[in-house]
Amino acid sequence: MQKEENNKMAKIKFTGPEKRAHLRVSSRCGLKYTRLSKNLRRIVSAITKSQTEDICAGGIKFVAYKKLPLHAILEFQFKIPDTARYAAGFGEVVRIKSRIGGKSYDVGLKFLWITRKNAELTDAYVRKKRIQEIIKKLRKK
């Protein structure tokens, strides 16, 4: 009897509360970044170009073609979608995962510093896009 209960419990998937502090959506936009030292000086003078995978007011996920160390500090700039503004600031690499094929990496970057206005514009874009996604799903039903 107890074995049957354990099997039933193993099949239950926990769907606890969302851990993210901000709403996030898939969004591709150009990104420029450079790695900084602990005293916030550029380690290399070259700026790396990339593309975001998703975006929120608290951070982005992007593709890197060279492995970045966990907790590395980056100086970044990206165009906020649906606006004429660019967001720039500093962020910390909080996740890095090798993509299929191992020649590129998904990087989670948490914003450490970004202007309040740019965070608000980014959040407004994310909310607008999420509403559009929901409306599209509802129309399909």
The one-digit pLDDT tens for each residue of the chain (141 residues) are 445 444 444 455 545 444 556 677 888 999 999 999 888 888 877 899 999 999 998 999 999 999 999 999 999 999 988 888 899 999 999 999 999 888 899 999 999 999 999 999 999 999 999 999 899 888 887
Burial level of 9, CB count in 10 A (0-12/13-18/19+)?
A: exposed
How many helices and strands (H and E) does the chain possess? 2, 7
Residue 108 pLDDT:
96
For 74, the token pair is 């980056």
Residue 82 pLDDT:
85
**Domain segments of the chain as ranges:** 21-140
Q: Quick one: which of 49, 93, 87, 100 has its CA closest to 71?
A: 93
Residue 18 pLDDT:
47
Burial level of 101, CB count in 10 A (0-12/13-18/19+)?
A: exposed
Residue 16 pLDDT:
43
Residue 7 pLDDT:
47
| Fold category of 21-140 in CATH | Thrombin, subunit H (2.40.10)
Cα–Cα distances (Å) from 57 to 29, 32, 39, in that order, read 15, 17, 25
Residue 17 pLDDT:
47
Cβ–Cβ under 8 Å, residues 80 and 86: yes
Residue 97 pLDDT:
94
